[in-house]
Structure 1
Amino acid sequence: MNTFYQLKVLEVKKETADSTSVAFDVPYDLYETFNYKPGQYLTLKFTINGEEVRRSYSLCSSPVLEEPLRIGVKRVKEGLVSNYINDNIKVGDIVEVMPPDGRFFADVKKGNYKTYYLFSAGSGITPILSILKTILLTEERSYVHMIYGNRNQDTIMFKDELEQLKMEHADRFILIQTLSRPKSTWSDLWKSSKDAAFKKGRVDSEAIHWFINQYPPYAQNVAYYICGPGTMIQNTKKALKNIDVPDDRIFIESFGGSDSKDTTEAFENAKLTAHLNGEHIQVSIPKGKTILRTLINAGKKPPYSCEGGVCATCICKLKTGEVHMKNNLSLTDTEVKDGYILSCQSIPLTEEIEVVYQ
């Protein structure tokens, strides 16, 4: 799981003022290793300011096209790696990359006859684009209804590619762009809402109900894929549950956590006991450090990828004590109840903490 390979950067493309896509060259002997399902992500490793850091970024390329592996990276306020990529990565660079992984993907099959609803906002378009392209190119009898939210026209990632897909598959692909703060021109004053190239607003419960009523499913076998920030996901899932969509037809990937600031105070210098790779480790957790970072700084090698609470690679079981997870975008309520935690997000609330990596 922790094996990294050196891949060369083939192309760096500015998608918007604050986002970039990066394409990688995969050597022939690694084709099988880097095979992926639409919706999965890559984990990249860098050394920044003397510290090893890893982050996971979803693939926006499609596995059924003869195209390089490509990720989309949006600049984030105080985002160490996302800003580093946007500012520094260039063609010819060698980047350490882990093979594709992730539990958010579409099981696309040639014989399927389905309706897909794709909901995304901001950089949440990245895995959704991979799923979209793969469905349209593979499932000739399936239909895709997609709503994509952004701030304004200039912040739409992959805008040209989406418009091209809309033209090429007009009979099977519906795309609605919704903008919370659209830029207006004089000509917009004479357009009716029906003629506008976008819908004003956010991807919220009201928009979801309107969208599904306006564009009901063709095939009755329906799947719903959601990717975006936490609030958008909550609103979308709530809207789908209100129309009795079963849980097993809803697939979620979260980009970003809660809008509210986490002010939970950790227990300073708590004693950590960790069972990892056959080793019994005892170390203190410094102020402001997570369980994961404490182990890494102690020279240990716990499993991890994104450090954002999304991928669940760093999962371990809490045996003693209490922790607070600053962000949890991957564990189910049942897993949390059973004692599993994300070590990249967990800070101690008690004097003693014991965890087991399995």
Structure 2
Amino acid sequence: MSAVTEAAQTDLLAAKRLTVAPETGALPQWDSEEDDVLVCREIRQETHDVKTFVFSGRSPRLHSYKPGQFLTLDLTINGQQVNRCYTISSAPTRPHTVAITTKRFAGGVVSPWMHDHLKPGMEIRAMGPMGEFNCVDHASANGKYLLLSAGSGITPSMSMARSFHDLALATDTVFLHSARSPADIIFRDELALMAREPNFRAVSVCEHDSPHEGWGGYRGRLSLPLLQVAVPDFLDREVFACGPAPYMAGARAILEQAGFDMARYHEESFKFEDLAPEDAGVSPPANTDDAVKTFKVEFTKSRRTVEVPADTNVLAAARAAGMRLPSSCTRGLCGTCKSKLVSGEVSMQHQGGIRQREIDQGMVLICCSKPLSDLVIER
């Protein structure tokens, strides 16, 4: 076995340890099932419209997650309960805090509230971590990675890069980020610092200059010629991509055109900011007429039983009954509401938020599942 292969296999084992926070005294791990409160500890201004929010538990806790996973925030804004998914931008190698990095989206609901009103010392509720988009479950067999990102989609790539850096892994990582201008490059100074290491290269692509800074690097948008010049060996790498939907569609098309093995391509399955504001909530039961058959749905962990009409998704009925359950997209996209169906049958119309093997194991997305019988759900 070659030294390179040995190092890659050793680093694969180290990467798998990222899911478990390192031993630090006798501190327990933060568990949103037991206590979902996080306290804002610090706010960092990253760019003119991007901030990082650093959280920890109310009492000292360790945060364990896989780089690339997300938290679902449960916020009350103007008297309304709102859920949003945000990828964790910090690294599990620094387990005493957990951070998310958000861009202020004009016309949005959550990001403007966070930028304007969330202050150190304030408490929020969160659920997770969750998500299959991570570098632990999809670790590179040869230790070579290409992290593609655009705009605020940089956050999962940053969590991965920080983890590799902290563990001093012998991974070969290229971090290729697209931004509007030099002033919009999030984590620019930290990326430059990490790029001092021989096994990490940071490449930025800007569409135009900043008002007070010209750009001398790669210009324009991600393209196959640019990728071939900036990362000549990209065909050999495990690729992770996150950004606006058009960016990810473009990245997929470029890699497919180049003959890339798409089994080694991974992308964030959704961007919550791309959903219309009216999609953020959960609709009430569609029909409560006596003519519609109603089923009993028992939630084992919550110790609640609710009545759910046959034409209503389980999550909508549970929320209408006052239950607080993990949810975000409400469209079968994100997987936040994934639950174990202990007994009964449902009709599920999802949009990619659950895999067939999970369905075969009895998992369902309750946001897009209507009962066909009485149900018992592990939630």
**Shorter-chain TM-score tier:** 0.7 to 0.9
Counterpart residue identity of residue 244, structure 2 = P
State yes or no: 1:311 paired with 2:334: yes
Return 5+ residue gaps in structure 1 as ranges: 189-195
Query: Could you say which residue in structure 2 is the equivalent of 1:157?
Result: 186
Contact 1:123–1:255 under 8 Å retained in 2: no
Counterpart residue identity of residue 256, structure 1 = K
The CA RMSD over aligned residues, in Å, is: 4.3
CA–CA distance in 1 between the matches of 2:243 and 2:157?
Answer: 10
Secondary structure, counterpart of 1:83 in structure 2: helix
CA–CA distance in 2 between the matches of 1:263 and 1:89?
Answer: 23
TM-score, with structure 2 as normaliser:
0.70
1:77–1:246 distance in 2 versus 1, CA, 3 Å: same
Which among 199, 203, 209 is matched to residue 172 of structure 1? 199
Q: CA deviation at 1:117?
A: 0.3
Counterpart residue identity of residue 23, structure 1 = V
Kindly report which structure 2 residues correspond to 1:333-352, keeping only aligned pairs within 5 A, or say none. Answer: 344=367
State yes or no: 1:23 paired with 2:54: yes
Q: CA deviation at 1:106?
A: 1.0
CA–CA distance in 2 between the matches of 1:301 and 1:26?
Answer: 20
CA–CA distance in 2 between the matches of 1:180 and 1:336?
Answer: 43
Q: CA deviation at 1:295?
A: 3.4
Query: Could you say which residue in structure 2 is the equivalent of 1:300?
Result: 323
Secondary structure, counterpart of 1:176 in structure 2: strand
Which among 239, 249, 254 is matched to residue 264 of structure 2? 249
Q: CA deviation at 1:18?
A: 2.0
Contact 1:44–1:95 under 8 Å retained in 2: yes
Q: CA deviation at 1:90?
A: 0.7
1:309–1:78 distance in 2 versus 1, CA, 3 Å: farther
CA–CA distance in 1 between the matches of 2:319 and 2:297?
Answer: 14
Q: CA deviation at 1:305?
A: 4.5
Query: Could you say which residue in structure 1 is the equivalent of 2:247?
Result: 232
Query: Could you say which residue in structure 2 is the equivalent of 1:138?
Result: 167
Query: Could you say which residue in structure 2 is the equivalent of 1:94?
Result: 123
Counterpart residue identity of residue 226, structure 2 = W
Contact 2:37–2:57 under 8 Å retained in 1: no
State yes or no: 1:43 paired with 2:72: yes
State yes or no: 1:211 paired with 2:227: yes
- State the Cα deviation string for residues 109-128 of structure 1 (Å, max 9, x = none): 99985210000011111111
1:162–1:214 distance in 2 versus 1, CA, 3 Å: closer
Give identity over the alignment, percent. Answer: 24
Return 5+ residue gaps in structure 2 as ranges: 1-31, 289-293
Q: CA deviation at 1:255?
A: 4.9
1:165–1:320 distance in 2 versus 1, CA, 3 Å: closer
Secondary structure, counterpart of 2:241 in structure 1: strand
CA–CA distance in 2 between the matches of 1:111 and 1:81?
Answer: 35
Counterpart residue identity of residue 295, structure 1 = A
Query: Could you say which residue in structure 1 is the equivalent of 2:177?
Result: 148
Q: How many residues align structurally?
A: 330
CA–CA distance in 2 between the matches of 1:163 and 1:242?
Answer: 31
CA–CA distance in 1 between the matches of 2:330 and 2:275?
Answer: 19
